[in-house]
Amino acid sequence: MSEKKTVLITGAGIGIGRATAKAFGAAGYRVFVTDILKAEGNQVAEEINEAGGTAEFNKLDVRSTGQVNALVASIEKMWGALDVVVGNAGIAHRVPLGEMTDQKWDETFDIDLKGIFRVVRATAPTMRAAGKGSVIAVSSIMGVAYGWDEHAHYSAAKAGVVGLVRALAVEFAQEGVRVNGIAPGYIKSAQTLSEQHSLGPEGLEKAAEFIPMGRVGQPEEIADVILFLASNAARYMTGQTVVVDGGLLVGRY
Q: Is the confidence at residue 34, as pLDDT, over 90?
A: yes
Q: What is the pLDDT of residue 47?
A: 98
CB of 33 within 8 A of CB of 47? no
Look at phi and psi of residue 239 and say left if phi exceeds 0, alpha if psi is from -120 to 50, else beta: left
Q: Stretch 155-163: mean pLDDT, rounded?
A: 98
**How far apart are the two ends of the chain, measured CA to CA in Å?**
52
Please provide the average confidence, as pLDDT, over all residues in the chain: 94
Query: In this structure, is the dihedral angle defined by the CA atoms of residues 77, 80, 81 and 87, taken in order, positive or negative?
Result: negative
- The pTM for the full model equals 0.95
> Which residues have CB under 8 Å from 233's CB, separation 6+?
none
pLDDT tier at 7, thresholds 50, 70, 90: very high
Query: In this structure, is the dihedral angle defined by the CA atoms of residues 111, 116, 118 and 123, taken in order, positive or negative?
Result: positive
Q: What is the pLDDT of residue 171?
A: 98
> Active-site residue among 29, 146, 154, 253?
154
> In sequence order, what are the beta bridge partners of 134?
84, 178
Least Cα distance to 57 among 70, 39, 80 occurs for: 39
pLDDT digits (tens, 9 = 90+) for 104-149: 999 999 999 999 999 999 999 999 999 999 999 999 999 999 888 8
User: Which amino acid is residue 154, in one-letter code?
Assistant: Y
Using CB atoms within 10 Å of the CB of residue 42, give its burial: 0 to 12 exposed, 13 to 18 middle, 19+ buried.
middle
Range in 39-43, 176-180, 205-209 with the lowest mean pLDDT? 205-209
5 to 27, 98, 134: CA distances (angstroms): 10, 47, 11
Q: Stretch 155-179: mean pLDDT, rounded?
A: 98
pLDDT digits (tens, 9 = 90+) for 181-214: 999 999 987 666 555 656 666 777 778 888 999 9
Q: Stretch 209-229: mean pLDDT, rounded?
A: 95
- Scanning the chain, the segments in alpha helix (DSSP H) are 15-26, 38-50, 65-79, 102-112, 114-130, 141-144, 152-172, 200-207, 219-230, 248-251
What CA–CA distance (Å, rounded) separates 237 from 134? 10
pLDDT digits (tens, 9 = 90+) for 55-79: 999 999 999 999 999 999 999 999 9
Using CB atoms within 10 Å of the CB of residue 131, give its burial: 0 to 12 exposed, 13 to 18 middle, 19+ buried.
exposed
Is 186 a known active-site residue?
no
CB of 8 within 8 A of CB of 34? yes
CB of 215 within 8 A of CB of 246? yes
Q: Kindly report the number of other CB atoms within 10 A of residue 224's CB atom.
A: 16
What CA–CA distance (Å, rounded) separates 82 from 161? 21
User: Which amino acid is residue 149, in one-letter code?
Assistant: D
Q: Is the confidence at residue 1, as pLDDT, over 60?
A: no
